[in-house]
Structure 1
Amino acid sequence: MTSTAAPRARAGAAPASPPPSTTLVELTWIEKKVENWIRFGHDTYERILDRRRRVMGFAPNSVFAFVRWAANEFGTIISRIDIVRAVGAGEPFQTLPFVRPGGDILLKIEGWPKVERVLQAIDAIEAIGVDPVDVSPDHWRHIHNRLTASEEPRAYSAEQHRAFLLRRRAEP
């Protein structure tokens, strides 16, 4: 499993309220019961509520991966990963538990074996030197579609990433 460490604490006092148009994600970490964390993403706001809970904020158009896992005395009851693009004011969005107001969901996978495949894909992207927040949204949709169909997704390559960056730069 990747990045299972408890949420980090940040030095200094958090601002009382997040910047306008910030997408907020509520995180909870109760060891071996409820473990919600951000696998990747560049937050612009963080407020620690208590030892186990915090709220992180993401600027419009930023991408982040939100992992949710919960268990009871009988075992795992939810394993899920969502890769989300934070939306700006007035943009349409999809709702998602613990995410306010919601976001553009690029990937939504449930069940530990498939979640693990997504985490491995993220690791592979990082291994080629690419920050997952910069990956083409189409690639996250590709992984979602392939895993939903119980097929193997194609790997993201450095060449594919360069082509995406050039295409994005050429857009008006």
Structure 2
Amino acid sequence: MTTPVPPLKTAPRAVHDPERLTWVEVRDHHTTIGRLVSQEWSVPFGAPIDQRILTRRHRLLGFGPGAVFAYLRRVETTSVSVAGRLDILQVAPARDRIAVPGVIPGAAPLLRAATWNLARSVLARFSALEALGFPLHDIEPDYWRRLSAALVEGRSPPPYDRMRHIAWLAQRAAQS
């Protein structure tokens, strides 16, 4: 006769444990009196595994280890000027993270478009990659680094093709 295995005193933490996720603040348009007309903090792409709704216009998205996501912060003023910033980030261990406003506890940067003109260029690249059938959150992280370097140097965007994508997916599958 076998003896029953005693239950664990503490359950092992699952990947979707809120303490192990990277949380991203998302805000819908806010209208205020004065110079600021609207502000938007959004996630143009990414695959969150959890969500916390704080208010009707304010929520947190949770991303698991290794997840890649884009984070756009945009402000429009009464003078119709637009300021914005776009970051493509990857959830990473503490030693590789940097502080990014609205991202708790931070993430590893893959691409940073600190001006609205650069952000628009990256958004256009999103559209081109999606038109080729690539899910943006599954694109090789090194591609985003190469795109960032090309934007800073004023070069045309590097190509991303099906063979590179298949190789990346196979490498990622082999690592997990």
Normalised to the residue count of structure 2, the TM-score between the two structures is 0.79
8 Å CA contact retained: 1:121, 1:155:
no
Between Structure 1 and Structure 2, how many residues are aligned? 155
Cα distance in 2 between the residues matched to 1:76 and 1:27: 22
Matched AA of 1:120? A
Task: State percent identity of aligned pairs.
Answer: 32
From the CA coordinates, give the structure whose radius of gyration is larger: 2
Contact 1:61 1:87 in 2 (8 A): yes
The one-letter code matched in structure 2 to 1:139 is: Y
- Separation in 2 of the partners of 1:87 and 1:101? 10
Which of 127, 130, 136 matches 1:126?
A: 130
CA distance in 2, matches of 1:169, 1:135: 13
CA distance in 1, matches of 2:175, 2:64: 21
Unpaired stretches in structure 1, ≥5 consecutive residues: 1-17
Paired residues of 2:53 and 2:59 also in contact (CA < 8 A): yes
Runs ≥4 residues deviating over 3 A? 166-172
Aligned 1:31-110 pairs, distance under 5 A: 33-76=38-81, 78-88=83-93, 90-110=94-114
Q: Judge conservation of contact 2:82–2:116 (CA < 8 Å) in 1.
A: no
Give the drift of 1:72.
Answer: 2.1
CA distance, structure 2, for counterparts of residue 76 and residue 84 of structure 1: 26
> Structure 2: which 5+ residue stretches go unaligned?
1-16, 31-36
Deviations along 1:44-64, whole A, 9 cap, x unmatched?
Answer: 111121122111111111111
Q: C-alpha distance in 2, partners of 1:112/1:26?
A: 20
**1:20 corresponds to:** 19
TM-score (norm 1): 0.80
Offset at residue 92 of structure 1 (A) = 3.0
